[in-house]
Amino acid sequence: MSRKTNYSQYQTAITAITAVENKYGLILFRMGLTHLVDVGVRHLTDENVEASIKQILADGEADKAKGTPVMTPEFQCDIVRCAAELAKFTIWELFAYIKKHVVVA
C-alpha cells in the first residue's frame, strides 16, 4: 500500500471521527472515548487475563496442527499481559501519553 493511500485512508478516518464529534458535541464525544476504553479496561481483570491466556495457549496447540500461525500464542499472551498493565493507568493518562509519544505513521 502506498504512502499516499495510507494518508488518504487516514484523512477519511479523521473526517469521519470529526463528524462523530460534531454530531455529539465535545463533551459527549470525550465521554464516548472514555467509555470505549473503559469497557475494554473493565474486561482486563486478573481472572479474565488468566482465562484469556489459557484459552490462547489451548487454541494455539490446535492451530499448530493447521500450520504456522501469523502470531504465536506466546506473542498473543504478551499482548494481553501488556494491555492488562496499561489498564492500571487512567484513560486520560493513556490518551496524553499517546498524544505525545506514539507516532502514527
Q: Determine the distance from the C-alpha atom of residue 15 to the mean position of all C-alpha atoms in its chain, rounded to a whole number.
A: 21
Cβ 63 vs Cβ 69: under 8 Å: yes
pLDDT tens by residue, 16-68: 999 999 999 988 988 888 888 888 888 888 899 999 999 999 988 877 777 77
Confidence of residue 1 (pLDDT cuts 50, 70, 90): very low
Return the closest-CA partner of residue 88 out of 53, 34, 46: 46
Cβ 72 vs Cβ 60: under 8 Å: yes
Confidence of residue 5 (pLDDT cuts 50, 70, 90): low
pLDDT, residue 60, reads: 86
Residue identified by cell 487512567 is 90
